[in-house]
Structure 1
Amino acid sequence: MAAVDHNAEEKQVDAAHHSDKSDTGDISHREDIHEETTHEAAERGRAATDRYGHSLVHFDPVAEAKLRWKIDLYVVPTVALLYLFCFIDRANIGNAKISGFETDLNLEGYDYNKVLSIFYISYIIFEIPSNMACKWIGPGWFIPAISLGFGISSLGTAFVHNIHSACGVRFILGVFEAGMMPGIAYYLSRWYRRSELAFRLSLYIVMAPLAGAFGGLLASGILKLPNFGGLHTWRMIFAIEGIITCGLSILAFFTLTDRPATAKWLTQEEKDLAIARVKAERVGTTVVLDKLDKPKFLRGIFSPVTIITAFIFLLNNITVQGLAFFAPTIVKTIYPNNSVISQQLHTVPPYVVGGFFTVLFPFLSWKTDRRNIFFIISAPLMMIGYIMFLASKDQMARYGATFLIASGAFAFGALCNAQVSANVVSDTARSSAIGTNVMFGNIGGLISTWSFLPFDSPDYHIGNGLNLATASTTLLLSICLLFWMKMNNNQREKKDIDTELAGLSEKQVQDLDWRHPAFRWKP
């Protein structure tokens, strides 16, 4: 690691500090600060900010925009396609349910709910370890490998014949899928600035509602086939979709670039810019990709913003996963006399509308560099939808409610992961924070498997009431979190940064992470 000239840096930052201690603007206009080149800022062992969190680098917005567009084209499509089939392979059991899955496996009572639950047990257990493995191995290898694993697991589901084998395959599916959502979120955080991240996350998370739409179309198309080899009806859904996933995973081994420094499609100047612009937002950081470090690992998990946001994501996932697993069943109760294929197709439009809002809210988040406010906007949409379910028996009103719920629910995946990523500093803390967020979210997924129970059919008062309560709690928590972040930032403004950091080594300063006195929460 290259040595850092601490004395020179002290002179630079002291000059800035004494000239205007409260100024947090663009320091590139200060004549008494040395402005680094992007190459200098990208080098290992050099900080891209001063001790007050001010960037030491001025970036050309035109060059940044060109680089960002290039990254969008090379990085996002591959992970988006993989996540599409990740969600399809998880949720296609909902399509299989109304196509004979329960009957052929002799499932009774709560057996279907048990099959759903076993997936989340392994998912939750392996969530944080998977994201640590993703950092250690590298996303470029790890993400395609687990994608191949859950593709094979989905294919294996086509050959189950009882609840025991179904539960076994679903457990293995959860092991492989555990690292997918947090792994991609962590991977994209290597490439994008804080303000840009939510929108880029939405470009792959939008595949969740689109998987509901596309999954319904694909399932209805597959069911029109007489057979696939020796497989019939619902077994063809798992087999064909599993094979597609395996094919995409093998391609991803060749197309997924691990990090900017190894991107053959970037020039050296573009690599330096990609590294420097991410580094310039991380106070006290001398390397973008630090080694696994216990203090920073724990900082990511136990950040107040991580914990509250993760609990919000838990509540939200009760709704999102409930829709994924039970939307076909709910549509069946609204249109009981329609054909199975018609019922499958009726699940498509709400997901399409939900997909639009999944991209819209994070896009606005990118332009405003705000995330928490969109939690507050989204929650009432879900609340109104579930009130309509509980208050009306009219077919059109209940079907319309599914559109409102999907519009509010699906954007949380991108927004929550972007929020926990924006509110830590180091790469290690970012990895553990995202893993914690998604782990909590999938505890919500586990709860969702028991939210719509057979005895509660066809109106599902318990399931709809539970989701109304979670949406209402989400609204209250989001408002409280926003006020707390602003209040704590005001308290941090009163701290003397020089006094707080006096006597600390470079390692100790970096291990402070979000406890660094110059750090500010980003709502």
Structure 2
Amino acid sequence: MADEKKGDSIGAVHNETNEESTHFAAERGHVATDKYGQPLVHFDPKAEARLRLKIDLYIVPTVSLLYLFCFIDRANIGNARIAGLTEDLQLKGYDYNMLLSIFYISYILFEIPSNVACKWIGPGWFIPAISLGFGASSIATGFVKTTAQAAGVRFVLGVFEAGMMPGIAYYLSRWYRRSELAFRLALYIVMAPMAGAFGGLLASGILTLDHFGSVHSWRMIFVIEGIITCGLSIIAFFTLTDRPATARWLTAEEKDLAIARVKSERIGQDKVLDNIDKKKLWLGIISPMTLSTSLIFLLNNITVQGLAFFAPTIVRTIYPDKTTVTQQLFTVPPYVVGGFFTLLMPFLCTHFDRRQIFMILCTPMVMVGYIMFLASSVATVRYAATFLIASSLFALGPITNAQVSANVISDTARSSAIGMNVMMGNIGGLISTWSFLPTDAPDYHIGNGLNLATASTCLIIATLMLFWMKMDNKKRDGRSVEEELAGMSQGEIQDLDWKHPAWRWNP
């Protein structure tokens, strides 16, 4: 059943200092803020801290594990490539790049529709279902015999994986405040660099087996990792819940608090989960912050996905005399470093409730890394460059999704804004499949130069938008809330979303 049909419960927020309860009307028909955007109730910080910890423990581990294997099932083709896939499927010329591209075509086409479907069906069912789908697709990859079969399976894999990253980001936005969201997004998006590390270790371990059933060599990577994904998705059907109101593991009081505190940040909205509305969907997509941030994510993802797909190949060019297993293992340390910074940067975002400045800070190390690739052919220098690149590359995933989520108001606009951001990011992924061409090997000057350019452009756009937000907020300070809202119905006020006169951009 669609979430919008289920209703929101009345929230009760307890003030333990005064030993009395303040009841907050979080049900339909009651707004959570005044016309100036100020919350109508304040919450006990200790009660909120206990609730956050409980949500962290129940929600984040499951979605993180699902996303880990989502990324592994997408990127393990890079591990399979150096383990014999190219020879067995008789890939020639740009065939490998084509296999990578076909995945992104379906991934991009289904991005926004998947997130709208996630809202309509409910994340508690939708996320496990698509996880089961891409796990099965990974298993099927282990049995392909031709390039055409591999391309077909990769296309289906993209259909199922399209809803994963935006779906989880949208799902978490139902549970956390704006300031809390970036770090929670990082707790699952960190699985991208961890997938690079763990995927390399897992592939190395799998390749030490003689066979797995009837499959051998690189085929075992897809089959075994796909089986693990399917197992995790089945567990998720029982552990994930759509939203606070339906969480069996929350008390009635905790449900009320969870609903009320999220609603308290939504100016002019009288319900947490509004009906799917075309106007709000469109406002989420065309928000200046959504458009600029998604462009940054597009450029950043050229590097992120390029590193995921070509890291084993790049390591092979650095250490050509090492064994295949050793080359796989050399891909692990940079991803471990990347995982650390993927958590650190969003943690700082949450601590300071600022995201734009950290988007700016994520770019210099990537630029330095690609300058090192371009300027040196020394193996140790180039390998060191992969650490610099990974150190801040992956952090933009959670930060950009948190930024577009923080700069719209309604649940509907949030679903389309996040979907737009991730869709644009995956256009970058499509571009990345052609960033490292066989004719450019072994130094890959074109690929490295492209990634240097994208990181530099991200720096420019993020800086310009920071100044624009500050200037536009000053203009909004001069607007009269009373005059602009005079004569408007509650429905018309809700439809304003980020155009509401009391709204301020959140840098």
Fold-level match, TM-score > 0.5? yes
Counterpart pick for 1:325 among 309, 315, 334? 309
Question: Counterpart of 1:325 in structure 2: which amino acid?
Answer: F
Aligned to 1:144: 128
Counterpart Cα distance in 2 of 1:485 and 1:167: 43
Aligned to 2:101: 117
Counterpart Cα distance in 2 of 1:419 and 1:76: 19
Alignment of 1:159-308 (within 5 A): 159-308=143-292
What is the SS of the residue equivalent to 2:58? helix
CA shift, 1:39, in A, is 4.0
Question: Counterpart of 1:448 in structure 2: which amino acid?
Answer: S
Question: Counterpart of 2:465 in structure 1: which amino acid?
Answer: L
Q: Is the 8 A contact 1:192 1:278 kept in 2?
A: yes
Q: Is the 8 A contact 1:39 1:276 kept in 2?
A: no
CA shift, 1:37, in A, is 6.5
CA shift, 1:38, in A, is 6.0
Q: Is the 8 A contact 1:301 1:429 kept in 2?
A: yes
The CA deviation string for residues 447-491 of structure 1, in whole angstroms up to 9 with x for no partner, is 000000001000000000000000000000000010001100000
What is the SS of the residue equivalent to 1:161? coil
CA shift, 1:230, in A, is 1.0
Aligned to 1:12: none
Aligned to 1:433: 417
* Structure 2 portions without partners, runs of 5+: 5-14
Counterpart Cα distance in 1 of 2:312 and 2:41: 52
Aligned to 1:353: 337
Q: Give the percent of matched residue pairs that are identical in Structure 1 and Structure 2.
A: 74
Q: Is the 8 A contact 2:35 2:502 kept in 1?
A: yes
Counterpart Cα distance in 1 of 2:434 and 2:106: 17
Aligned to 1:4: none
Residues 441 and 76 of structure 1, relative CA distance in 2, 3 Å threshold: same
Aligned to 2:352: 368
Counterpart pick for 1:392 among 376, 386, 397? 376
CA shift, 1:382, in A, is 0.3
Question: Counterpart of 1:69 in structure 2: which amino acid?
Answer: L
Counterpart Cα distance in 2 of 1:38 and 1:310: 40
Residue 497 of structure 2 corresponds to residue 513 of structure 1? yes
What is the SS of the residue equivalent to 1:330? helix
User: TM-score scaled to structure 1, two decimals?
Assistant: 0.93
The CA deviation string for residues 248-272 of structure 1, in whole angstroms up to 9 with x for no partner, is 0000000001100001111111000
Counterpart Cα distance in 1 of 2:506 and 2:267: 13
Aligned to 1:79: 63
Q: Is the 8 A contact 2:24 2:41 kept in 1?
A: no
Aligned to 2:395: 411
Counterpart Cα distance in 2 of 1:323 and 1:356: 17
The CA deviation string for residues 307-339 of structure 1, in whole angstroms up to 9 with x for no partner, is 000000000000000000000000000000000
User: TM-score scaled to structure 2, two decimals?
Assistant: 0.96
Q: How many residues align?
A: 490
Counterpart Cα distance in 1 of 2:461 and 2:27: 41
Counterpart Cα distance in 2 of 1:39 and 1:339: 65
Aligned to 2:85: 101
Counterpart pick for 2:293 among 298, 305, 309? 309
Aligned to 2:9: none
* Structure 1 portions without partners, runs of 5+: 2-27, 29-35
Question: Counterpart of 1:182 in structure 2: which amino acid?
Answer: P
Q: Is the 8 A contact 1:275 1:288 kept in 2?
A: yes
Q: Is the 8 A contact 1:39 1:273 kept in 2?
A: no
Q: Is the 8 A contact 1:308 1:481 kept in 2?
A: yes
Counterpart Cα distance in 2 of 1:445 and 1:515: 32
Counterpart Cα distance in 2 of 1:256 and 1:59: 26
Question: Counterpart of 1:186 in structure 2: which amino acid?
Answer: Y
Question: Counterpart of 1:292 in structure 2: which amino acid?
Answer: I
Residues 504 and 320 of structure 1, relative CA distance in 2, 3 Å threshold: same
Counterpart Cα distance in 2 of 1:232 and 1:463: 33
What is the SS of the residue equivalent to 1:42? coil
Alignment of 1:20-99 (within 5 A): 39-99=23-83
Counterpart pick for 2:466 among 471, 482, 490? 482
The CA deviation string for residues 186-227 of structure 1, in whole angstroms up to 9 with x for no partner, is 000000000000000000000000000000000000000000
CA shift, 1:41, in A, is 3.4
Q: Is the 8 A contact 1:417 1:437 kept in 2?
A: yes
Counterpart Cα distance in 2 of 1:37 and 1:144: 37
CA shift, 1:282, in A, is 0.7
After superposing the two structures, state which structure 1 stretch, 403-412 or 439-448, moved more: 403-412
Question: Counterpart of 1:321 in structure 2: which amino acid?
Answer: Q
Aligned to 2:426: 442
Counterpart Cα distance in 2 of 1:55 and 1:392: 56
Question: Counterpart of 2:498 in structure 1: which amino acid?
Answer: W
Aligned to 1:6: none
Q: Is the 8 A contact 1:139 1:183 kept in 2?
A: yes
Q: Is the 8 A contact 2:190 2:342 kept in 1?
A: yes
Counterpart Cα distance in 1 of 2:383 and 2:47: 47
Q: Is the 8 A contact 1:42 1:273 kept in 2?
A: no
Q: Is the 8 A contact 2:245 2:255 kept in 1?
A: yes
Counterpart Cα distance in 1 of 2:225 and 2:284: 36
CA shift, 1:120, in A, is 0.2
Question: Counterpart of 1:261 in structure 2: which amino acid?
Answer: A
